[in-house]
Amino acid sequence: MKLPVLHPSRSAPLPVPAGPIRELRDTHGRVIRDLRIAVTDRCNFRCVYCMEPDVRFKRKIELLTDSEIVRTVRVARGLGVRRVRLTGGEPSVHPTLDSLIRDIWAVGLDDLSMTSNGSVLNEAELGQLHDAGLQRITVSLDSLREDRFRALTRSTATPARVLETVESAKRVGLNPVRINAVIVRGFNDDEIADLAALARRYDADVRLIEYMPLDSARKWEMAKVVPLDEIVERVNSVYPVEPIGRERTSSPATRFRFADGAPGRLGVIASVTRPFCNACSRLRITADGMVMPCLFSTEEYDLRAVLRDERTTDDDIAGFLAAATLRKQSGHGIHDEDYQQPDRPMSAIGG
Ligand code: SAM
Ligand code: SF4
């Protein structure tokens, strides 16, 4: 089978690797263990750094069905994928999330997690997702100020509602809860210490994330990025922290604990100033079924067409995933002169 290539000007079709495929290994020696799957491109927010108010969503027929997602996970599991994260768009607006989680977990994984804006799910629903197999949740929260939060998300939701989700998630056993905050200079960098303090208050993992050039409005500029050193310095001046090791070699966060022994941990994801591409173990699948070997890929591979061809066997899917992995770029190249932002914003890739 030849890979269907969506951007033929930038890549040539790749033949499937010869011989039996046992793992997903790229040309830089990295092995894929993590799959990020966008289960929908829809969202009830329109975050300014992610989704434009007039965004056009894909038609339902263009999105992968639950059974297509589950089949892909099963094949990937056979090739050494151990962890799956569901994202989007907003995964909690997916109509059959509960049964999708149940079917994915039944495949047999080490971890199944989800990233959510935390504005939709109530405690009962979180409990059902946990019962279905969800192990952990990451909740995004970029500001604790109501006016700012509303301006950022272009919604009527509140930070208090998101924090309720954090508490509910803990109560139903989705531990440890992670809280993600993208830091944008001039927007919320004055809240860095307050956001870090959420780790102490909720015994949570707070991840402060450097702003990446993946915004649909294309307003990203380096001047808006608050680098890791500055983030740590700002936390440290209020809550002294000390470094701890990475969770795994492939984990992107540089991690810290609080020097006074308070609960919770801080992680900084410095994709821009300290890229961790050489340890990357991820492959991404968009809601419309394209494989993106990297968050910053400008090339994508049409898995949906493969899945919808009735002649396709599981071996064909394995071959396709292996061939797409071979196209994984060595790094994101944000700092290269010819850096090209992917056509899709974060919401359509699955952040
Ligand atoms: N809707 C869910 C949410 O907001 O958590 C899941 C999808 S969202 C695209 C996943 C993560 O990407 C969120 O934590 C969001 O803050 C982050 N994100 C979106 N655009 C970003 C950008 N330009 N730079 C860095 N992170 C971004
Ligand atoms: Fe929706 Fe998440 Fe993007 Fe915000 S960051 S618009 S919540 S997908």
User: Does residue 220 contact residue 213 with C-beta atoms inside 8 Å?
Assistant: yes
Kindly report, residue by residue over 213-228, the tens digit of the pLDDT.
Answer: 766 667 778 889 999 9
Pocket flag, ligand 1, residue 212 (CB < 6 Å)? yes
Pocket of ligand 2 (CB under 6 A): 43, 45-47, 50-51, 88-90, 117, 346-347
The three-state secondary structure class of 201 is helix
pLDDT at 15 over 50: yes
pLDDT at 7: 45
Euclidean distance between CA atoms 94 and 37, whole angstroms: 13
pLDDT at 20: 83
Pocket flag, ligand 1, residue 205 (CB < 6 Å)? no
User: Does residue 253 contact residue 294 with C-beta atoms inside 8 Å?
Assistant: no
Please state which of the ranges 91-105, 201-215, 223-237 shows the lowest mean pLDDT: 201-215
Residue nearest to atom 4 of ligand 1 (CA): 117
pLDDT at 183: 95
pLDDT at 107 over 80: yes
Kindly report, residue by residue over 127-180, the tens digit of the pLDDT.
Answer: 999 999 999 999 999 999 999 999 999 999 999 999 999 999 999 999 899 999
Is the pLDDT higher at 321 or at 247?
321
DSSP 114-178: EEE-SSS--HHHHHHHHHHT--EEEEE---S-HHHHHHHHTSS--HHHHHHHHHHHHHHT--S-E
Pocket flag, ligand 1, residue 50 (CB < 6 Å)? yes
Backbone φ, ψ for residue 136 (5° rounding): -145, 160
89 C-alpha to ligand 2 centroid (Å): 6
Averaged pLDDT, 185-208: 97
CATH code, 34-349:
3.20.20.70
Kindly report, residue by residue over 55-94, the tens digit of the pLDDT.
Answer: 899 999 999 999 999 999 999 999 999 999 999 999 999 9
Residue nearest to atom 2 of ligand 1 (CA): 116
**Could you say which ligand is closest to the alpha carbon of residue 212?**
1
Pocket flag, ligand 1, residue 281 (CB < 6 Å)? no
Work out the pLDDT band at 8, boundaries 50, 70, 90: very low
Pocket flag, ligand 1, residue 115 (CB < 6 Å)? yes
**Could you say which ligand is closest to the alpha carbon of residue 225?**
1
Backbone φ, ψ for residue 322 (5° rounding): -65, -40
Pocket flag, ligand 1, residue 43 (CB < 6 Å)? yes
User: Does residue 291 contact residue 40 with C-beta atoms inside 8 Å?
Assistant: no
Residue nearest to atom 17 of ligand 1 (CA): 351
Structure tokens belonging to residue 259: 């020097």
Distances (CA, A) of 216 to 9, 46, 285, 340: 23, 11, 19, 13
Q: Name the percent of the chain lying above pLDDT 70.
A: 88
Structure tokens belonging to residue 99: 């049964």
Pocket flag, ligand 1, residue 153 (CB < 6 Å)? no
Is-above-0.75 flag for pTM?
Answer: yes
Q: Which atom of ligand 2 is nearest to the CA of 88?
A: 8
Query: Is omega for the bond preceding 4 within 30 degrees of 0, making it cis?
Result: no
351 C-alpha to ligand 2 centroid (Å): 9
Backbone φ, ψ for residue 234 (5° rounding): -70, -35
